[in-house]
Amino acid sequence: MSTAFSSPRQAAAFALLLAVLLALPALVAVTGWLDRRDVYPAIAWKCGPFPWIHQKIFVETKDVDMVFLGSSHIMTAVDTPYVQQKFSEQLGREAEVFTLGWGWPGFDASYAVARDLLDHRRVHTLVIYDEGNRDLPHMNSSRWFRIGENSEMLSGLPWLAQARLYGGAVLGMPRQLLSLARPNLLEDPARARINVWNTSFRAENPAKHRGALCSRLAYGHSPDFIPFRPAGDATPADVLAYSAETRVAFKFTGPATQPYQLHFARSLARLCQERGTRLVVLHTPSLRERGQTSIAERELWPEVLGAPVEIVGVPPARLFAGIPAAALPKLFLDDTHLNQNGQEMFTPLITPMLLKPYAASIHHY
């Protein structure tokens, strides 16, 4: 019968090495060697435009008017330069508006990035969307979760979720330690080399669009994209914010948010409340919802998160009113992601509602 180790000494050496690796995140946290500024430059472009995210969090310092934050659904839904332009016109100065987005959903990633942002910059409004219901850590949690820096994330989590996050920290530690051996190169986000966002989405560098992803793909991720400006009937008046007066236009369909994601969604809401940041959940369009007269959210977010949260959306029947059913796929690259056509249709509709409360609250900012 063969054994994994040829001698007890080899087995003991392996056990010692394993113990050291498992203890590394906690040991390094005690030393304080790692710098949070080294996190984002070490993340590959395929995971998101992280040179842009690094710049907006750590390099720039002025107060921020509005940030769209989350995974690819919100990256593709909002034409951030358009919002920035309208915001600037309303304020009579250049507004600071941008998107921080990445691949793959998860409230844990949204909380981690928002925490870094709010630790370094004052933000008036943060706009997110429903990041889904997967009861597991984000697939790139090993890149941004580090013991000693994000340890507050563990409080209140079940032990299995804590173990998963810690395991990710173990896997990510060799790359984190490499930052001590040699400095990370800081790439100019506006002059980046060709990357996955250009090739997979046929889009320009998101840094040239204030972080927005303007996908030039046709439905089914087809390269046969054709610009399309629908002559629909929807107007900004069709955009609704949830309230006692508008609640009949909203439907909360479940399923209930899984404990892991709920933990981080609540943490994000509390963080915004503590920092005086207005938090908005934006319902992003889905082709599957066409014809529905209600805005379908999984949760009544203010109640579930236990903190002030606004819900903004457009009933799909109104959003797509006047557009032939056969033409609706021209607005999407798949069932749940808008392409550039859809982004240019959706953004002018929602912008007035997003900016509406700002004038009334600006004196508190």
124 by DSSP, 3-state: which? strand
Residue 107 near residue 134 (C-beta atoms within 8 A): no
How many separate domains does the chain show? 1
Give the CB-side neighbour count of residue 303, counting CA atoms within 13 A: 9
Residue 117 lies in a domain: yes
Structural domain harbouring 85: 49-140+186-364
66 by DSSP, 3-state: which? strand
Please return the burial class of 17, using the count of CB atoms within 10 Å of its CB with bins 0-12, 13-18 and 19+.
exposed
Residue 309 near residue 270 (C-beta atoms within 8 A): no
Best CA proximity match to 334, nearest among 297, 288, 283: 288
- Give the C-alpha separation, 53 to 189, whole Å: 9
Best CA proximity match to 46, nearest among 255, 268, 198, 213: 198
Question: Within 10 A of 303 (CB to CB), how many other CB atoms are there?
Answer: 9
Q: How confident is the model at residue 364 (pLDDT cuts 50, 70, 90)?
A: very low
**Hey, which bits of 235-316 come out as E strands?**
240-241, 250-252, 278-282, 295-297, 310-313
Written as one letter, the residue type at 297 is E
What is the per-residue pLDDT for 186?
78
Please return the burial class of 141, using the count of CB atoms within 10 Å of its CB with bins 0-12, 13-18 and 19+.
buried
Residue 161 lies in a domain: no
What is the per-residue pLDDT for 5?
65
Residue 60 lies in a domain: yes
What is the per-residue pLDDT for 195?
78
Give the CATH number for residue 222.
3.40.50
Check pLDDT > 80 for residue 289: yes
Q: How confident is the model at residue 19 (pLDDT cuts 50, 70, 90)?
A: low
Question: Within 10 A of 302 (CB to CB), how many other CB atoms are there?
Answer: 16
Q: Which helix (H) or strand (E) holds 68?
A: strand 64-71
Q: Which residues neighbour 91 within 8 Å (Cβ) at sequence distance 6 or greater?
A: 65, 358, 362
In terms of pLDDT, which residue wins out, 162 or 82?
Answer: 82
In terms of pLDDT, which residue wins out, 361 or 30?
Answer: 30
Best CA proximity match to 106, nearest among 78, 58, 72, 79: 72
What is the percentage of the chain residues whose pLDDT exceeds 70? 93
Least confident span in 32-46, 259-273, 300-314: 32-46
188 token code pair: 């100019």
Q: How confident is the model at residue 357 (pLDDT cuts 50, 70, 90)?
A: confident
Whole-number average pLDDT of the chain? 90
Residue 33 lies in a domain: no
Residue 114 lies in a domain: yes
- Ramachandran angles phi, psi of 311, nearest 5°: -115, 125
Residue 152 lies in a domain: no
- Give the C-alpha separation, 129 to 152, whole Å: 23
SS3 content of the chain, % helix, strand, coil (to 5): 50, 10, 40
Residue 218 lies in a domain: yes
Residue 68 lies in a domain: yes
What is the per-residue pLDDT for 155?
86
138 token code pair: 């984000």
